Amino acid sequence: MVSAVDIITYIGIPLAVLGVLPTIYTVLKSYFTLRAISKSLQRNGVIAITRSALLSGIVEIEIPRRSIIPLERGDPKYFGLRENASGLRGGSWTTFWWKEMVIGVKSYRLQYHDELSQPQAEIEFEALIAFLLDRGAVPSKEGWADLRGAGLWTPAGTKLLLSPVSGEEVLSVAMSDDSDGILSLSLNWRREWDTRSTDSLPPYWTRMKPARVEEDVLRKMEELERPQVEEVKEVDKKGGFLDDDSAKSEDIAAFRSPVRVRINATGIQEAYKEDDAKKKLMLLHLRPIPSSNDSNAGFWFCCAATAFEAPQGGLWSFSIPEDVVAVARRETVPSGVMVLLGAVNDDEVPTWRTPYDDQADRFEKHVKFVESSRKMNEENRLPPAERDAARRRRIEQEARDFHTDFQRRRMREDQRREAEIGEAMQSRRLPIPVVAEANRKWLIQKFGLAENMTLMALIEQVMYGMANDVSLARRLAVMLDLWKNWAQSGGMTKSHYLAVKEDQIVFSLASFVLYVIRSTVSEPTGSVVGDLQECLRMWKKVRLG
Ligand SMILES: *[C@@H]1O[C@H](CO)[C@@H](O)[C@H](O)[C@H]1NC(C)=O
Ligand SMILES: *[C@@H]1O[C@H](CO)[C@@H](O)[C@H](O)[C@H]1NC(C)=O
Ligand SMILES: *[C@@H]1O[C@H](CO)[C@@H](O)[C@H](O)[C@H]1NC(C)=O
Ligand SMILES: *[C@@H]1O[C@H](CO)[C@@H](O)[C@H](O)[C@H]1NC(C)=O
């Protein structure tokens, strides 16, 4: 006989057990998921609050979102790597050390532990790029062009910065599921890519080293001009067009060490000598001084320094104004002027002057000779007493003629030179690279320097000289202002030519400055930098993870 108890025991209990099994399963599963997640979080160094709703099988996690900024450059950890970086999705920023600040909390609801990820960190884009360039990463031309063109639609995986040794990505565009409409990036770095240290030149800085003695244009220039310095001071007292000799403000002798200068959007921010990094150089003559008519020396220095570092770094905050770039791109120096200055030969440029025709001179000479012979013949036919008087008169006349001829010839010579200058102004204009190269050769010959001195070595000397020597900085600025002036006002005139001729060495040095400005816009790196800078302007903050 089957009793009710038996039915409950043999059918009801198993049924009930079967009924709660799924619940037991869910509870166990979420327990293990929670454990796996907690372990995973711990292993990756992520601090989080975890909760599990046991019956629903969902694990809830709250992880703080951080805002990060690079450490001070002097901090030993700045060039270090974290030992246990997070391998979770969204955690690649933990590769490096940062200054961190919690700015919010992100909640996750997970069913499986492999869905685990962590919030990306928020960072200022420019600070991130400056830091990674400082670590040695190299901008990728295509990457920045893509990002500039496609913005948020740039495909995930697009490489923006590459490793210094292989072509592997350092910074690339990431999936945007955690980015809330902000640009999302991810980071990758290996210890073996670290080649730089605190001594390396960080972005925004320019380094100039003094030339070796046998290549030192500036020293030779100073030697050449030393005797004239006294005269200049004479003029100074009377006319007062040069400032007093506060000129050599910072001790030159103590200055012969590489100099580093940091340039921000408005000009020089700070500077120091490498052999005395603690002492800041003021470089007052290169600082912009508002509401004074001081020269543009600081402005031109910043243009030159920015262009000089461009191929090496790829990040700066000073932007060379468009009109200056336009001047450097234009053809601004007539070839005839370069010939008259002795920097190029006539056969290196198209014909520009009317050849001098001496036919008239020869004819005139001939007429005079015939006339003189005729007179001598006539004299010979005269009686002896009259003959002497006639000869005397003839000789006196000839002397007077000779004198007026000489003056006439000199006047004609002057006219010819004037006409030549006029023709030179009209001759075909040369682009800056040709002018700079001709000036380089001229300068090397003038000072007997090593033939293989490059334009880049010379431009470095120019910048070094501008930092060092107040009067050179002013003269260069005056010359460059003059150059810009004639380039923008329809070309060189005679007065420009005379000013150039007066200070031809400085004219040569100025052509190097324009050359380096021009080369930044034509080199391929110039365009990477253009795209990079534009992207930095578009995206102020990014999510990194
Ligand atoms: C990194 O790992 C070490 C052991 O491998 C551990 O002692 C340390 O606490 C970990 N640091 C962090 C921030 O998790
Ligand atoms: C650049 O540096 C100078 C000198 O430190 C400072 O006065 C100026 O405000 C800075 N300009 C910008 C745009 O940061
Ligand atoms: C600026 O230049 C003008 C003329 O060029 C002169 O009259 C004036 O005194 C100068 N001002 C200063 C502050 O040097
Ligand atoms: C130029 O040549 C000299 C030897 O003639 C050499 O010592 C120097 O390194 C060369 N400089 C460059 C930049 O090639």
The stretch 266-276 carries a mean pLDDT of 87
Cα 263 to middle of ligand 3, angstroms? 28
pLDDT over threshold 90, residue 105: yes
- DSSP lists the bridge partners of residue 331 as 431
pLDDT over threshold 60, residue 242: no
Question: 199 with 105: CB under 8 angstroms?
Answer: no
Say how many Å lie between the first and final Cα of the chain, rounded. 71
Cα 293 to middle of ligand 3, angstroms? 6
pLDDT over threshold 70, residue 249: no
Question: 178 with 119: CB under 8 angstroms?
Answer: yes
DSSP-derived pairing of the beta strands 184-187 and 541-544 = parallel
Q: Is 399 left (phi over 0), alpha (psi -120 to 50) or beta?
A: alpha
The stretch 196-219 carries a mean pLDDT of 87
Residue to mutate (ligand 2; options 262, 263, 269, 319; most atoms within 8 A of CB): 269
Mean model confidence pLDDT for the chain: 86
This prediction's pTM: 0.78
Which of these, 314, 274, 282, lies nearest to 298 by C-alpha position? Answer: 282
Q: What is the 3-state secondary structure (H, E, C) of 288-318?
A: CCCCCCCCCHHHHHHHHHHHHHCCCCCCCCC
Which ligand 3 atom is at minimum distance from the Cα of 294? 14
DSSP-derived pairing of the beta strands 58-70 and 49-53 = antiparallel
Ligand 2 pocket member 166 (CB < 6 A): no
The pLDDT score that the predictor gives to residue 317 is 80
* Higher per-residue pLDDT: 146 or 237: 146
Which of these, 91, 37, 42, 40, lies nearest to 60 by C-alpha position? Answer: 37
pLDDT over threshold 90, residue 455: yes
CA distances from 29 to 39, 40, 112, 117, 204 (A): 15, 16, 9, 19, 55
The stretch 83-89 carries a mean pLDDT of 91
pLDDT over threshold 70, residue 432: yes
Give the angle subtended at the CA of 114 by the CAs of 110 and 115, to the nearest 5°: 40
| Rounded CA separation 544/178 (Å) | 10
Query: Residue 465's CB: how many other CB atoms inside 10 A?
Result: 22
Question: 314 with 469: CB under 8 angstroms?
Answer: no
* Higher per-residue pLDDT: 318 or 121: 121
Cα 274 to middle of ligand 2, angstroms? 22
Ligand 3 pocket member 404 (CB < 6 A): no
Atom 2 of ligand 3, nearest CA residue? 293
The pLDDT score that the predictor gives to residue 431 is 94
DSSP-derived pairing of the beta strands 184-187 and 205-208 = unpaired
Digit-coded pLDDT (tens) for 475-533: 999 999 999 999 999 899 999 999 999 999 999 999 999 999 998 765 544 566 778 88
CA distances from 349 to 87, 335, 342, 344, 439 (A): 65, 6, 12, 8, 15
Token readout for 133 is: 């360039």
The stretch 329-333 carries a mean pLDDT of 93
Question: 486 with 496: CB under 8 angstroms?
Answer: yes
pLDDT over threshold 70, residue 252: no
pLDDT over threshold 60, residue 273: yes
Identify the nearest ligand to the CA of 292 by its number.
Answer: 3
The stretch 277-294 carries a mean pLDDT of 73
| Percent of all residues in the chain with a pLDDT value above 90, rounded to a whole number | 49
Question: Which residue ranges have their beta carbon within 6 Å of ligand 1?
Answer: 45, 83-84
Reduced to 3 states (helix: H, G, I; strand: E, B; else coil), residue 469 is coil
Cα 472 to middle of ligand 4, angstroms? 27
Ligand 3 pocket member 293 (CB < 6 A): yes
Digit-coded pLDDT (tens) for 20-41: 888 888 888 888 888 999 999 9
Ligand 3 pocket member 228 (CB < 6 A): no
Atom 9 of ligand 2, nearest CA residue? 266
How many contiguous H segments (helices) and E segments (strands) does the chain have?
A: 16, 15
Cα 334 to middle of ligand 4, angstroms? 32
Cα 109 to middle of ligand 1, angstroms? 27
pLDDT over threshold 90, residue 171: yes
The pLDDT score that the predictor gives to residue 16 is 81
pLDDT over threshold 50, residue 253: no
The stretch 309-328 carries a mean pLDDT of 82
Containing 184, the helix (H) or strand (E) segment is strand 184-187
pLDDT over threshold 80, residue 402: yes
Ligand 4 pocket member 3 (CB < 6 A): no
The pLDDT score that the predictor gives to residue 227 is 63
Atom 9 of ligand 1, nearest CA residue? 45
Q: Which residue has the tokens 């107040």?
A: 470
Digit-coded pLDDT (tens) for 220-239: 888 888 765 554 444 444 43
Alpha helices, DSSP H only, in 260-383? 297-309, 322-329, 335-340, 359-381
Which ligand 3 atom is at minimum distance from the Cα of 291? 13
| Rounded CA separation 468/208 (Å) | 11
